[in-house]
A and B are shown apart, each in its own frame.
Chain A
């Protein structure tokens, strides 16, 4: 429900992505078309079918996290707090009682995460079960903050504490669309008037043996071992699965008028958002893309934007054959002839697929594309797939006036989400 006239502005960005800590370095990676996929070093990947991932070279101490923060928080929470702090700083907003500050009671938090503290849980299970040998696991070996790993709303608490927020706070966990859905949820909270400022984004740090094993079991991740830097190949005829990643992106969202009043830099308006379910299969997709197309149409409708106004489509582009064909069909169904004209790209070719986090990382890419009027490329796309016949911006970034952007996500559980970002001063139709 929208309170008349309330619109939502994106005024701060923070990103921790493989190959790029901080939104500037992240953007440089994308604009250069460099990739951050490598052979896994977090653990010995030799027993696994898939041995490549996009890891972040992250030292929490360098980012102001103390020894107790590191002990208390799973890696995904650490990434979230650092990204949220960068977003707050970037927006220039203060939360507190000072003049011009946002009211803590009117400031909320939404954190997207698909798999929560999976890395911490994997490590701690190994200890309390003594390497899987104890069925009755030993509680005397548990870390004191294990409950925060059990229930990942601890991530929202950490971000709220970091931001000083005391409004509505929650985690949104809709699998691989979490990163779009969390931001969409936060925008809705502002529109309906339950908050004026939201610190919203997503995080996941899933590169652990249990995650690699479960994706191995369904052959979702790529078995490619030679050239790990070229392992993620969305829309390419030779692609054979996604490359797992990790990361976090956060944003400061504000009611547009108050953002303008305080002279904030507005990257974009969150103009439209929708989610639908395919109600078909927990991991499978029908090739027709009907539900994603419906989500796109609904998001465009909310944004009052005609399909041919879209300047760039940030694809889910995970690099599985099933996905790439599904969403190519969805774009044709929802955008019509414009689907063949608009540049479409997948940054997962460079930063991998960080499950629930990637939707927010891609929103950051979209906002930065609007900022620079540059479309990030799909790296590693050298062999066209005849069934994927759109303009996927292969290999090299492209300069283009970018005022209106569509980003989509698709995930396990059947969730299909779409979001439209636009310049707030665009002509309303």
Chain B
């Protein structure tokens, strides 16, 4: 019998809520955190909206010695990890160090930190570059810093698969649990809301140029023309179910299915690998399509991508046969952070019996989806599917099961 991986702790950093309670209070009523960029002057750029995490002051949560050596996204990740452990009721100091690991995803590393050091390099000279540049910007930094902060010496890792990476990290965390590590901290927090990060994101050609926070990011809508980028994400505590039970914890739910696929080469004209990812994740979970109570869709808000995602869902579930939602419409797309936040949202949604809405979208009927819009919908949620797709052709899918109340 394989070990089951249950999620026992959640730490949220989201544009519409700092911490799980604020985030869920906002999400259940459809309150968005998207607004004009405040961290730099976005006037020169064609995209000016973002989902920024409001009210996060790192010095309130972290020792001052960590501040000069960390990027904004690492500070948020460290605090989210603290909150996730508190939520799980785990004190890592009381557990064997080799029995705990950390697997995070990253998209751009500590890009703002890198920007500042590149600026010093080219404007002032190489001797002005920070000693912390050697690790503060790289993709492994959050796993490294979290492991150090909490003394986690077990198997750790870092994956990069654009927006799909957040689910790949959870899949890897589950592997480590099945291989015998009882507790793994996982998830992702990303941020590249700095001029250099902005220019690099613009080059991807997927950003919305909408000026109205209400309509700039509307997946599965005939007006869809790209997304609003955001920052944040979620850090989760995953535990071996037996180990959690032994300390009297049942957890929010179990990660029962996971799969990843890659699309055919561009221009092949062949179907995206998304449907296969969904089918493989369902098979991995031992679930049939009618058991899925809600789908947290990727929602790229690009016509071709929305069409491909709708087709995949309709093929697996039947046209309009499963409720679909994109709460990312309240946060923007958080890169690696998006999918772990969707996993957290799915677990919170199941706990309340409420599917949070896809805000502002008027669903294009051609897609044939049962999209939950504007108002949250009451529903019994026992099994949820979360999808995440990354630029280049990455498709990941996860199935979560929540115990009956």
Tell whether, in the assembled complex, residue B125 and residue A47 are in contact, meaning their CB atoms are under 8 Å apart.
Answer: yes
Among B127, B160, B264: residue with most chain A CB under 10 A: B160
Are A181 and B203 in contact (CB-based, < 8 A)?
no
Q: Which of A114, A149, A151, A291 contacts B391 (CB 8 A)?
A: A151
Stretch of B75-83, B105-113, B247-255 at the chain-chain interface: B105-113
Enumerate chain A residues within 8 angstroms of B40, measured Cβ to Cβ: 135-136
A132 to B196: give the CA distance in the assembly, Å: 11
Give chain B interface residues in 141-194, CB to chain A under 8 Å.
Answer: 141, 143-145, 147-148, 150-162, 165, 168, 172, 175, 178-179, 192
**Does B148 contact A280, Cβ atoms closer than 8 Å?**
yes
Q: Which stretch in A14-22, A208-216, A398-406 binds the other chain?
A: A208-216
* Complex alpha-carbon distance, A329 and B109, angstroms: 32
Give a binary string over A181-200; 1 marks a CB under 8 Å from any B CB, 0 the rest: 10001001000101000000
Q: A132-B123, A136-B40, A139-B199 are in contact. Are A170 and B160 (CB under 8 A)?
A: yes
Q: Is A63 an interface residue (CB 8 A)?
A: no
Are B147 and A412 closer than 8 Å at their CB atoms?
Answer: no
Tell me if A129 is interfacial: C-beta within 8 Å of chain B. yes
CB-defined contacts of B140 to chain A, threshold 8 Å: 114, 173-175, 178, 411-413, 415
Q: A170-B260, A172-B159 are in contact. Are A276 and B135 (CB under 8 A)?
A: no
> Complex: how many Å from CA A113 to CA B2?
31
- Given contacts A131-B122, A132-B121, whether A1 and B179 have CB atoms under 8 Å apart is yes
Question: How many A residues face the partner with a CB closer than 8 A?
Answer: 87
Question: Is A279's CB under 8 angstroms from B97's CB?
Answer: yes
0 or 1 for each of A271-289: is its CB under 8 Å from B? (1 = yes): 0001111111111000000
Q: Is A256 an interface residue (CB 8 A)?
A: no
Do residues B161 and A171 form an inter-chain contact, with CB atoms below 8 A? yes
Is residue A122 within 8 Å, beta carbon to beta carbon, of the partner chain?
yes
Subset of 12 A-B contacts with CB under 8 Å: A1-B178, A114-B140, A122-B121, A136-B41, A137-B199, A142-B199, A146-B204, A150-B111, A151-B108, A168-B259, A279-B148, A282-B144
Could you tell me which B residues sit within 8 Å of A by CB distance? 2, 40-41, 44-46, 69, 97-98, 101-102, 106-109, 111, 114-115, 117-127, 129-131, 133-135, 138-141, 143-145, 147-148, 150-162, 165, 168, 172, 175, 178-179, 192, 195-205, 259-266, 273, 276, 335, 390-394
Shortest Cβ-Cβ A-B pairs, 9 listed: A413-B144, A132-B122, A132-B123, A147-B204, A157-B392, A146-B203, A173-B139, A150-B200, A214-B133
Other A-B contacts than A122-B121, A147-B200, A413-B138, 20 sampled, CB-CB below 8 A, are A125-B115, A135-B40, A136-B195, A138-B199, A139-B45, A150-B200, A150-B203, A151-B391, A164-B265, A167-B262, A169-B260, A173-B140, A173-B160, A181-B157, A194-B260, A217-B131, A275-B156, A275-B157, A277-B101, A279-B150
